[in-house]
Structure 1
Amino acid sequence: MSLLDPHALPFQADVHPDARPALRLTWDSREAGPDTAFVALPGEAMHGNRFVQAALDAGAPFVLTDLDVPRAVRVPDARDALFAWARTERAKNALVIGITGSVGKTTAKNYAAAALQAAYMPVFNTLPAIACFLIEYGAQAAPLVVEMGIDRVGEMAQLVDLVSPDVGIVTSIGAAHLEALGTVENVAREKGLILNASRALVGTQASSYYPGVPSYGFEHNDFAGEHLQLDADGARFVYQGVQVTLPRAARVQAEAALLGLVLAQTAGTELQGAAQRMANVEVPGGRYRVLPGAFTIIDDTYNASPLSMFAALNALATHTPAAGGRRISVLGRMLELGAAEQSLHADVGEYAGECADLSYGVGQFAAQLGERAYATVPELLDALLSEVQAGDVVLVKASRGISWTPEKRAAEGVGLDTVVTALLERRKQL
């Protein structure tokens, strides 16, 4: 990552003489500092210009804004300037991989980056976040892996225009963000715009939506892994004669690792080394993290959709509890499902009954999600913590409701990371 010099920009700007090079860019003034410049973007509630002085006080080397302030890089429109800069830096990289999907895109991103020894996007995948990433890393020799998530019509077109991926990948298609996208068919159409890249790949589950596009996965695919084995210890499979072992992983991780090997193969990267790097991948918190102990906790609380719920329940079913233990599902509300939300929750709850020995539901659709239903998280915890015992395997999963108040999160049964924390404390007592 090279210095970002405000005096050598690819666009016209009025640069204050005291503006200094930076290592990073941010659109969040709270992250501004001596090495991190601030971009003042328009927001839904307020303009970033309101925070320019706070960024300067924090020592930001420069601020991209239309204001006349110290260390300013003055432009008519900071957003347009940011995106123009991002496109210039992206053009300097020989291999940019874009990944989208209703389920598994973050996991796929992490495994692909490990296989290719690439730079990759952090958790945020908004347009401004991706633009900052491209500016910071575009000129380096290593490939880039960019997660491209959408929740509205037209957003993928904007992302493709910005990222211009050389390889476009769709991991899966399912019911997600339907309040804005409307139907699963719309989800497929919008996400499918990424496949206009010069090379395209789709996961097994998504392949029926994109006939003719090369697919990866197990069994019958254009790029197929062999001898997949899934159990409580993790996942194992073979690709092109290379044995892959992924500790405490499920099928979603195995498919992501297979994608990593396919990308490595076509990029000329040695497969054995790629497999070894992927064996050490740590997924971010809340994304199918198996936490072994007196009883096993599966923390999959980062987010949820029907497709990811089914995948998590399938993974729970692969676990064989210790003597006397049970498989337990703890499920909360899935957000942004539109008019079909009740029936979709009921479908998940019915499947939970097949995969788990005990199923708990919490929040608005608690009765649909579990045989033991609770209105709020505190009520759920009172029952769950007295029930769980040594040898159990407990899956915890729901949407985040990240912008909600703690009280609303608890009432709606979203943001079940607090349940994981409570289970970890309970486990210490056994």
Structure 2
Amino acid sequence: MLDPHAPPFPATVHPQARPARRLTWDSRKASPDVAFVALPGEAMHGNRFVQSALDAGAPFVITDLDVPRAVRVQGAQAALFAWAHAERAKNALVVGITGTAGKTTAKSYAAAALEAAYLPVFNTQPAIACFLIEHGSGARPLVVEMGIDRLGEMAELVDLVRPDVGVVTSIGAAHLDGLGSVSNIVREKGGILSAAFSLVGMQAGPFYPGVPTYGFEGATFEGENLHLDESGAGFSFRGIRVHLPRASRVQAEAAVLGLALAERAGLNLEAAAARLAAVEVPGGRYRVLPGAVTVIDDAYNASPLSVEVALDALAQFPGRKIAVLGRMLELGETEAELHAGVGAQARRKADLTYGVGKFAGLLGEHAFQTVPELLAALLPELKRGDVVLVKASRGISYTPEKRLQEGVGLDTVVTALLEWRDRL
């Protein structure tokens, strides 16, 4: 329980404030078990929602307002981070994971191997702080995904999380609007390697000479005898055979990371390998959905590197291979060139290529401006045994209408494919 009457920061606590099970910065999630912290936002301050959180039964609210059940502070964000630091300091093992692609997958496999607590979706600083407050004092290790899209953000995250282990999964062009260049990405993400122990994926290895690597074919922590086919991935680590159903090389590399961390933590590797076989990654992150038509749902986000990796995985499948690609966001002035490069790779790896939205003609031989137009052409083309990869950036700030028009957030395409294939 989170006790508001013993905060590790200066505060005036209302006598009616009571302990909570969880803490949120989103007033819509406040409840009799979930307290609310009123943070400043880009558009408006969380103070505007304090009353709605109290009406929802929030056990306490962190705010500078004089209201019932308030934990009154001068700055809610500073208080939140101070509390997170205090709770995180009670944990013996915190793993921080960053990278251009594969962060969420690596987090899922590392957490399974370590039997760790982890944040399922969000990786914003407020979300991470709330996670550290809720889980920092527990006996389980913590695994934290640390994504960035602007200069200086990794330093802020490292100061917040203070990881014992730092991991960089991969390096490539992404978020160039905020980060500027790949060299900046290398430098910024490399900030996580200030941890006491660090690892990088084999793809990122050349960017960080001397840092231990994980993966296959010569890695410091090496998986052996990797086998990939439509059923999944198999390999050995320290003589233990691992099988990952419906997985690609990316998942196999993440599993090696998990086993390397488990070995370092002194855990039983056979038990860790068994846990890895049961990992289910979140929707939209290379989920293989078998059926009359196999659908690879990788529509959560996209960068040139992650599309390349997904296309390599698609090439491992038998049957006719179809790539459905949408716009990759935040690529700056080089976006047209980067989309053209991805489209060229798609034409080499897939039998049919479809592009949608801006840059559709660069991404696929069959180009459409909107998702409805794409589906009208794609669905009748499908045959039993086809394998369809769907990948694009999600564009969460877009309206539904703009998403359809600009070819971002192709989760609607995945849904349509699954519905259509049931009729074949």
TM range (shorter): over 0.9
In the alignment, does 2:12 pair up with 1:14? yes
In structure 2, the residue matched to 1:106 is: 104
Question: For 1:373 and 1:61, how far apart are their aligned partners in 2?
Answer: 53
Secondary structure of residue in 1 paired with 2:272? helix
Select the residue among 407, 410, 427 that pairs with 2:421: 427
Q: Distance in 2 between matches of 1:154 and 1:15?
A: 34
- CA deviation vs aligned residue, 1:55-95 (integer Å, no higher than 9, x gap): 00000000000000010000000000000000000000010
Task: Look up the equivalent residue of 2:360 and give its one-letter code.
Answer: A
Q: Which consecutive residues of structure 2, in runs of 5 or more, have no partner in the other structure?
A: none
Indicate the SS of the match to 1:9: coil
The 2-side partners of 1:185 and 1:388 are apart by 42
Paired position in structure 1 for 2:404: 410
TM-score normalized with structure 1 length: 0.98
Equivalents in 2 of 1:106, 1:269: separation in Å?
Answer: 22
Please point out which of 139, 161, 164 is paired with 2:162: 164
Q: How far apart in 2 are the matches of 1:406 and 1:155?
A: 29
Which among 25, 28, 32 is matched to residue 27 of structure 1? Answer: 25
Q: 1:354 matched to which residue of 2?
A: 348
CA distance in 1, matches of 2:382, 2:334: 33
- Which letter maps to 1:418? T
Measure how far apart 1:122 and its partner are: 2.0
User: What amino acid is the match of 1:222?
Assistant: T
What is the match of residue 250 of structure 2?
252
Q: Which runs of 5+ in 1 are unaligned?
A: none
Check if 1:277 corresponds to 2:275.
yes
- Kindly report which structure 2 residues correspond to 1:358-369, keeping only aligned pairs within 5 A, or say none: 358-369=352-363
Report which stretch shifted further, 121-130 or 38-47: 121-130
**Separation in structure 2 between the aligned mates of residue 353 and residue 309 of structure 1, nearest angstrom:** 13
Q: Percent identity?
A: 73
Q: Which whole-Å deviations, capped at 9, do the CAs of 1:157-179 have from their partners, x for residues lacking one?
A: 00000110000000001100001
How far did residue 221 of structure 1 move?
A: 1.3
Write the deviation string for residues 119-141 of structure 1: whole angstroms up to 9, x where unpaired: 01121000100000000000011
Which amino acid counterpart does residue 267 of structure 1 have in structure 2? A
1:375 aligns with 2:390: no
Partners in 1 of 2:166 and 2:194 — Cα distance? 7
2:225 aligned counterpart, secondary structure: strand
Matches within 5 A, 1:193-272: 193-272=191-270
Q: C-alpha separation between the residues in 1 aligned to 2:219 and 2:281?
A: 26
Q: CA deviation at 1:220?
A: 1.2
The code of the aligned residue for 1:404 comes to Y
Aligned mates of 1:33, 1:122 — CA distance in 2: 20
Residue in structure 2 matching 1:123, options 113, 121, 134: 121
Answering whether residue 296 of structure 2 is matched by residue 298 of structure 1, we say yes
Residue number in structure 2 paired with 1:338: 332
Q: Quote how far apart the aligned CAs of 1:146 are.
A: 0.5
SS of the aligned residue for 1:159 comes to helix
Match of 2:69 among 52, 68, 71: 71
Aligned to 1:188: 186
Q: State the alpha-carbon separation in 2 of the partners of residues 278 and 222 from structure 1.
A: 20
Could you list the structure 1 runs, at least 4 aligned residues long, displaced by more than 6 angstroms after superposition: none
Aligned to 1:398: 392
Q: Which amino acid aligns with 1:311?
A: V
Relative to the length of structure 2, the TM-score reads 1.00
Query: Which string of whole-angstrom CA distances, capped at 9 and with x for unpartnered residues, describes residues 253-310 of structure 1?
Result: 0000000000000000000000000100000000000011111000000000000000
Give the whole-Å Cα distance in 1 for the aligned partners of 2:37 and 2:225: 49
Counterpart code for 1:352:
A
Q: Is 1:92 aligned with 2:90? A: yes
Give the Cα–Cα distance (whole angstroms) in 2 for the partners of residues 220 and 336 of structure 1: 34
Deviation at 1:11, TM superposition (A): 1.4
- In the other structure, the counterpart of 2:50 is 52
- Summarize the alignment of residues 126-165 of structure 1 with structure 2, pairs less than 5 Å apart: 126-165=124-163
Q: Whole-Å Cα distance in 2 between the matches of residues 229 and 274 of structure 1?
A: 20
Cα distance in 1 between the residues matched to 2:8 and 2:404:
48
Secondary structure of 1:140's counterpart equals coil
Q: Secondary structure at the match of 2:222?
A: strand
Aligned alpha-carbon RMSD (Å): 0.5
Whole-angstrom distance in 1 between the partners of 2:111 and 2:40: 31
- Tell me how far apart the structure 2 counterparts of residues 40 and 369 of structure 1 sit (CA, whole Å): 43
**CA shift at 1:35, angstroms?**
0.3
Give me the whole-angstrom Cα distance separating, in 2, the residues matched to 1:195 and 1:412: 37
Give the Cα–Cα distance (whole angstroms) in 2 for the partners of residues 146 and 133 of structure 1: 9
Q: Distance in 2 between matches of 1:310 and 1:283?
A: 19
CA distance in 1, matches of 2:414, 2:111: 28
Residue deviations 1:153-209 (CA, integer Å, cap 9, x gap):
000000000110000000001100001100011001000000000101000000011
Q: Secondary structure at the match of 1:396?
A: strand
Which amino acid in structure 2 is aligned with residue 402 of structure 1? Answer: I
CA distance in 2, matches of 1:73, 1:224: 50
SS in 2 for 1:318: coil
